[in-house]
C-alpha cells in the first residue's frame, strides 16, 4: 500500500538533498521518487547521501513538469513553508500521514510534493495540490532542510501505516466510486475556465482568484468519475448555449 504514495521533488538544486530524501523514504518504507527538473541528477552527491538507498535513486522518475509528476494521482499534498495569501485546506504532518495512508489504502495514488530548497513551491504549483501541509517550526528559523522535511512527512506516513496495520480490517469503501485522477481534474478546471469565459463570468484580463477558489472548492470534494462526467456534461451544454450552437433544448 505504501507503494501508492510517491514523493515528488520539484527543481531540487542540491543532489545531496535528493540522496538524503531517498534514504529517508526507504527508511520509512517508501520507494517511489519523482524528480521534476532536478538541477543536477544523477550525481555522486546524491548516491553518497542515499547511503544504501540506491534502489530508490535508480528507480527515480525524472519528468519535465509537476503536471507530469502527478499523472494518475487522485490526491496531492504540497508542502507550504509559510502563510500564503491564498487560503487553502491545511494539514499538519500528522493529519497528512493519516490522510495519505487512508486514501492509499483504497488503491488511490497519492503524491507528497516538496518545493525548491529556498523558494518552496510556487502559488501555481500549490494550487495543483488538494491540501497543503505545514511542518510546524520556529518562526525565527522556519526553513527545514529538504531531506529533513521529507523525513518528517515520511515518518508520519509510517506511523499512520503502522496504526492502520494494527487496526481491525475496516470494511468500508464501496461508498464512493473511483475518484477522478489529478489530470482528469486538470482537464475539468480547464474546461470550467473556458466555459466561465464563454458566459462572461470570468474576465480573462482580470481573473482575480476565481479559478483558485473554484479549485479549492472542487479539490476538497474528492470528485468521483461519474460525478466528473456530470460536471463535464453541464459545461459542454453550457458552452453550446453560450455559442448559440444547437443543443438539446426543445423550446
C-beta closer to a copy of itself: residue 72 or 241: 241
Q: Are strands 75-79 and 131-133 parallel, antiparallel or unpaired?
A: parallel
Contact range with a copy of itself by CB under 8 A, out of 35-43, 65-73, 85-93, 181-189: 85-93
Q: Which DSSP symbol is given to 2?
A: G
What part of residues 114-173 is at the interface with a copy of itself (CB under 8 A)?
134-138, 141-145, 147-148, 151-152, 155, 158-159, 162, 168-173
Contact range with a copy of itself by CB under 8 A, out of 59-67, 68-76, 104-112, 237-245: 237-245
C-beta closer to a copy of itself: residue 38 or 93: 93
In a 3-state reduction of DSSP, which class is residue 80?
coil
C-alpha cell belonging to residue 193: 475556465
What part of residues 10-39 is at the interface with a copy of itself (CB under 8 A)?
20, 23-24, 26-29
> Given strand 131-133, what is the order of strands in its sheet?
61-63, 32-36, 5-10, 110-114, 75-79, 131-133, 90-91
Contact 79, 115 (CB under 8 A): yes
Q: How far apart are CA 154 and CA 157, in angstroms?
A: 5
What part of residues 206-235 is at the interface with a copy of itself (CB under 8 A)?
210, 213-214, 216-218, 220-223, 226-227, 230, 233-234
Determine, following the binding rule CB under 8 A, whether residue 106 of this chain makes contact with a copy of itself: no
* Chosen residue from 87, 107, 178, 190 binding a copy of itself by CB under 8 A: 87
In a 3-state reduction of DSSP, which class is residue 6?
strand
Amino acid at each position: 500500500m505504501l507503494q501508492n504514495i510517491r514523493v515528488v521533488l520539484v527543481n531540487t538544486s542540491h543532489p545531496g538533498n535528493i540522496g538524503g530524501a531517498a534514504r529517508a523514504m526507504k527508511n520509512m518504507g517508501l520507494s517511489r521518487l519523482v524528480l521534476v527538473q532536478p538541477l543536477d541528477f544523477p550525481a555522486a552527491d546524491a548516491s553518497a547521501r542515499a547511503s544504501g538507498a540506491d534502489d530508490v535513486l535508480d528507480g527515480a522518475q525524472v519528468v519535465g513538469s509537476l503536471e507530469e509528476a502527478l499523472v494518475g494521482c487522485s490526491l496531492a499534498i504540497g508542502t507550504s513553508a509559510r502563510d500564503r495569501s491564498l487560503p487553502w485546506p491545511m494539514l499538519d504532518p500528522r493529519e497528512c500521514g493519516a490522510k495519505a495512508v487512508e486514501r492509499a489504502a483504497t488503491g488511490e495514488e497519492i503524491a507528497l510534493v516538496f518545493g525548491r530548497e529556498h523558494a518552496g513551491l510556487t502559488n501555481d504549483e500549490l494550487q495543483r495540490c488538494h491540501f497543503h501541509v505545514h511542518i510546524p517550526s520556529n518562526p525565527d528559523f522556519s526553513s527545514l532542510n529538504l531531506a529533513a522535511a521529507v523525513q518528517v512527512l515520511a515518518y508520519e506516513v509510517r506511523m499512520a501505516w503502522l496504526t492502520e496495520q494494527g487496526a481491525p480490517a475496516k470494511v468500508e469503501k464501496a461508498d464512493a466510486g473511483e475518484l477522478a485522477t489529478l489530470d482528469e481534474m486538470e482537464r475539468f478546471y480547464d474546461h470550467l475556465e473556458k466555459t466561465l469565459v464563454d458566459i462572461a463570468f470570468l474576465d480573462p484580463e482580470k481573473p482575480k482568484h476565481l479559478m483558485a477558489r473554484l479549485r479549492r472548492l472542487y479539490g476538497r470534494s474528492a470528485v468521483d468519475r461519474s460525478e466528473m462526467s456530470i460536471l463535464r456534461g453541464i459545461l459542454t451544454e453550457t458552452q453550446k448555449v453560450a455559442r448559440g450552437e444547437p443543443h438539446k433544448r426543445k423550446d
